[in-house]
Amino acid sequence: MGTRSGSSTSTSRARREPEPANRSAARVLDILDLFLDGRPCHTLTGVSELLGIPKSTAHGILHAMRRHGYLTWDPSSRTYAISLQLVGRVAAAPVMELVRTRARRRLDRLATTLGETAILIGYEGAESVAVDFVEGARALKYAVRVGRGWPLHATGGGKLYLAQFTDDEVRELLGDLDRQRVTAGTITEMDVLLAELAQVRRAGWASQHGEIIEDVSGFAAPVTDPSGRLLASIVVTGPSPRLEEGQEKLVAELLGEARALSAEIAAIGPVAAAEAGTVT
């Protein structure tokens, strides 16, 4: 009798309490829901308190989600946020999805008109990230994967992002450039990069020439909100000789589509446009 009673109690307890694996999975989903349904950024303490779970447990899950690319970590504010890699995979962020859906026909038009790959770029930490793309029909295309990130200082879209900041802020953001060489063409001297960013501010567009992949260039134009704040960028990329030969036409087409997209986003309304500022 005693043994049966103990077995019954154990069975009952097992039915009431979920298995550790199930409990862990539920907590991961709870944390994901917290980011998707509430504020876009949370601290470790905030997650622990809002979900009523130990800090050590929250830290382990947040760290794993960050390691797998679902969350990002901002050391200055000590907050976690949904990553653009996750946005690219499941279109989880409604604001970026709003930009992405409106950008799609712009990308289509550029890829058709120029025959080159057109990419919508967002920003995350010290990287520019592919949110969407349309491949051109010409041979020797540059392969792109949604969610892929590139160093800010080595891409046209990244240089547009950096151009928003003062020289001192760029130095602080990038740190030691000497350790961030991707190809022989990557700019790793801060003074050289700052001079190029000054040119980007004057021109209103940016470029890279063999700085990510040798013999591959890219040109980027900004997508902005009504206040002029950068939301994203549109990039056209392909073999350097081909792009540089048709640079004048390419830049004109690129700027036209980026400005049209910016105007379309502005027409949505001030509330949506202000929310879209969270993309950067």
Any idea what the CATH number is for the domain that residue 241 is in? 3.30.450.40
Rg (CA), the chain: 23
Q: Do 161 and 272 share a structural domain?
A: yes
Asked if the model's pLDDT at residue 160 lies above 50, the reply is yes
Residue 42 and residue 158 share a domain: no
Do residues 76 and 158 share a domain?
Answer: no
- Is the pLDDT at 248 greater than 50? The verdict is yes
CA atoms within 13 A on the CB side of 235: 31
**Final residue belonging to a domain, choices 82, 117, 135:** 82
Shared-domain flag, residues 157 and 275: yes
For residues 78 and 107, membership in a common domain is answered with no
Residue whose entry in the numeric block shows the structure tokens 């470790």: 44
Of 52-61, 173-182, 241-250, 258-267, the one with minimum mean pLDDT is 173-182
The residue out of 54, 82, 110 marking a domain boundary is: 82
CATH number reported for the structural domain that contains residue 43 in this entry: 1.10.10.10
Which of the 8 DSSP states describes residue 208? E
SS3 content of the chain, % helix, strand, coil (to 5): 55, 20, 25
- Provide the residue range defining the domain that includes 220: 86-279
Count the domains in the chain: 2
Last residue of a domain, one of 82, 107, 127: 82
Contacts of residue 222, defined as CB under 8 A and 6 or more positions apart, other chains included, come to 160, 204, 205, 230, 233, 258, 262
pLDDT at 236: 93
231 shares a domain with 117: yes
Q: Is the pTM of this model over 0.85?
A: no
Q: What is the pLDDT of residue 87?
A: 59
Give the pLDDT confidence score for residue 12 in this predicted structure: 37
Q: 198 and 60, same structural domain? A: no
